[in-house]
Amino acid sequence: MLAQSAAQEDPAAAAVPVIRPRASWRVAEVHALGDFSLRIRFKDGLEGIVKMSELVHSAEAGVFARLADSAIFAQAAEHHGAVTWPGEVDPAPDAMYQAIREHGEWVLR
């Protein structure tokens, strides 16, 4: 009903399709673990672990270096189907999905 009433108020709104992303690699849930790892569940039910300790503690960490602070790492959240942290730090969800599908985990170095 909401879409109908919006279309009645603004005829242009009726021309805008509702977006419902369906890509299997979209993240549904993320839980930060104590060892700089994440437990991930994707929209299609696939689950696995992302291990980030080596990356966040390496000299090549780049934007991920700030995640070496366990308080910041613990702020991992799902946002629009991706894992994100404050400051818009986010690993590629499609690469994460592929690695977890093939190996049950994704180890970032």
- Which CATH number characterizes residue 90's domain? 3.30.2020.10
Residue 60 lies in a domain: yes
pLDDT in tens, 33-86: 989 999 999 999 999 999 999 999 999 999 999 999 999 999 999 998 999 999
Residue 7 lies in a domain: no
Residue 5 lies in a domain: no
Residue 89 lies in a domain: yes
Residue 33 lies in a domain: yes
pLDDT in tens, 14-27: 677 765 656 778 99
> 70 or 87, which is more confident?
70
Query: So what's the pLDDT on residue 87?
Result: 87
Domain hosting residue 49, numbered range = 23-107
Domain count, the chain: 1
Residue 13 lies in a domain: no
* CA triple 63-70-46, angle to 5 deg: 80
Query: So what's the pLDDT on residue 25?
Result: 86
CB 27 within 8 A of CB 47: no
Say what percent of the chain tops pLDDT 70.
Answer: 82
Q: What's the mean pLDDT in 94-101?
A: 96
Helix, coil or strand: residue 17: coil
Residue 28 lies in a domain: yes
Contacts of 5 (CB under 8 A, 6+ apart): none
Contacts of 108 (CB under 8 A, 6+ apart): 50, 51, 52, 54, 55, 64, 91
Query: So what's the pLDDT on residue 88?
Result: 83
pTM: 0.78
